[in-house]
Amino acid sequence: MSRWKALPSELDPRARHLVVSLRRLKDHSGLSMRQLAAKTGYSTSSWERYLGGRSLPPKEAVEAVAAVAGEDPTRLLALWEVASAACAGQPADTDDADSTPPPVTPEAPARHRPARAVIVTGVVALVLVAASAALLVARFAGDDEGRARPPAVSSAAPAGAAAPPTVPSYSCRVERVGGQWFAGLSRTQDAILATGQAGAQVAEAQCLLRRAGFPPGDIDGIYGPRTERAVLRFQREAGLVEDGIVGPHTWGALRG
């Protein structure tokens, strides 16, 4: 097994999870760095950067190393998506001279970007149409003498006043159904949860962690440091890979 150097302290935790998983996969494959480069088409220097936490690997490189190791790439690709979102905006690794796959920038897949652009354009157009209609109504709607009616007095809050934030409230209703534990917030078996995420699925995991004896703090649906530490302790006790990410294997252990 390789003696790996410590990862950079400034490396985002989500990117760290991906790198640790790739390191373990390389160790289990028994391949040297040179052999890994020859089998995947990415140079030795590239893999040194990827596995050293200095550069986010392209998605194709993650798929290639999974194929070489004979592993299902689903979980690694899910980790890559989380790490890519965390590293969005950082420069891509492009100096891989002897690799054939194209470089991948650490951002959302390109197929999603046009859809977002269409949605934003549609929203802007809708706002412009509504504003134009309001101006026309104000200009032509008048009283009998042709004078414009004064604007109606609104009872809404002042424009500068911020609306009070709404904080979701979650309660655990843990019960065993069909041999599995559920907390009444989500029935997912394979959602990928990591630091920075929020919602009912996170609250479901928090409830099940508390039931298993690994309290994550408040059941607030926020995947913060306390929840991550609880997941790591649970994974260690359950004999799972300790990556602090709730995936299919951790869900299976939490619900089992």
Question: Backbone dihedral region of 6: left (phi > 0), alpha (psi from -120 to 50 degrees) or beta?
Answer: beta
Alpha-carbon distance of 107 to 146, in angstroms, equals: 57
CATH number (3.40.470.10, 3.40.309.10, 3.20.20.70, 1.10.260.40) of 13-86 reads 1.10.260.40
Token readout for 99 is 């690799």
pLDDT of the residue at 247: 92
Token readout for 72 is 């299902």
pLDDT digits (tens, 9 = 90+) for 192-222: 999 889 999 999 999 999 999 999 999 999 9
CATH says 175-255 is which class?
mainly alpha
pLDDT of the residue at 28: 86
pLDDT digits (tens, 9 = 90+) for 3-42: 788 888 888 999 898 999 999 888 888 889 899 999 999 9
Mean pLDDT of the chain: 78
pLDDT digits (tens, 9 = 90+) for 140-164: 454 444 444 444 444 454 555 555 5
In CATH terms, are 13-86 and 175-255 the same topology? no
Sorted by where each begins, the domain ranges of the chain are: 13-86, 175-255
Output the pTM of the full model.
0.43
Token readout for 79 is 């980790």
Which residues share a beta bridge with 135?
Answer: none
Question: Backbone dihedral region of 197: left (phi > 0), alpha (psi from -120 to 50 degrees) or beta?
Answer: beta
Among all chains, which residue has been given the structure tokens 């028994």? 30
Cβ proximity of 73 and 57 under 8 Å? no
